[in-house]
Amino acid sequence: MNSPERQLKQLTCLYPLDVVKTRFQLQQKVSGARENSGVFSTLTKIVREEGFSRLYRGMGPLFLLEAPKRAVKFGSNDYWGKVIMKLFNTKEKTQTISLLTGCAAGATESLVVVPFELVKIRLQDKSKAHLYKGPMDVVRATIAQSGWTGLYRGLGSTMSRHILWNGGYFATIFKVQHMLPKAVDSNDRLRNSLFSGMAGGFVGTVLNTPVDVVKTRIRPRALYKGFVPKVLRLAPGGGILLLVVDARRILGPPYC
């Protein structure tokens, strides 16, 4: 249910939107020059001026990251959920606890994500495209220039981004699932997972986009630049993510 082939298909469909998002966040307004104005026009411009393959430059690190990232996201959410419920001396999960566990899971997840994100963004940046031959070239250049700690440059902003996204994601899932009709079978449960996951992905994106923009180094006045391509990727992605995780739990071993 969560095979590398399935992950690759999902990334192949959604990754170009991540490239567009990064381009929006990195672009600087130059006198007399037009900024990219929309998702489709930017996709078309990239293909026309740089070639179709440029839409997928930097996808390798993200693909390698996908499986451990998902495992850390949900594994740490379960772990921190138990810890926080024990601290609150309760056995019942609430929206507040879901928010706190999501934030803790986001902080944990960011420790895995940062080096991969750094490589991905440098490969997506048009102005620096000529500097690197591929992912390993970025890693070597970064270590040569800044040492191993250079791979964790931007940890603070990345951690803030993941804390906000995961907090909003899991808290919204809890709220929406309690608003939806109660699931009576596995099909209902998967439907609820899809809708609540999409809602969680949307809320998480609204909350963390300003931090994501700052992380990608754009002017503070454009804090929601790149929001549209980002939410088009992460809202359905959040739904698919929860759907796959719940489907594996329903199927049981050897899938979970």
pLDDT in tens, 130-152: 888 888 999 999 999 999 999 99
pLDDT in tens, 46-95: 888 888 888 888 788 777 787 788 889 999 999 999 999 999 999 999 99
Residue 253: φ, ψ to 5°: -55, 145
- The better pLDDT of the pair 213, 171 is held by 171
Q: List the domain boundaries for the chain.
A: 4-251
Given a cut of 90, whether residue 173 has pLDDT beyond it is: yes
What is the reported pLDDT for 7?
65
Architecture in CATH of 4-251: Alpha/alpha barrel (1.50)
What is the reported pLDDT for 33?
45
Segment holding 88, helix H or strand E: none
Report the candidate in 70, 95, 63, 98 with the shortest Cα–Cα distance to residue 82. 98
Given a cut of 50, whether residue 210 has pLDDT beyond it is: yes
Overall size of the chain counted in residues: 256
DSSP letter string, 213-252: HHHTT--GGGTTTTHHHHHHHHHHHHHHHHHHHHHHHHH-
pTM: 0.76
What is the reported pLDDT for 77?
93
| Pair 251, 9: CB distance under 8 Å | no
| Pair 57, 124: CB distance under 8 Å | yes
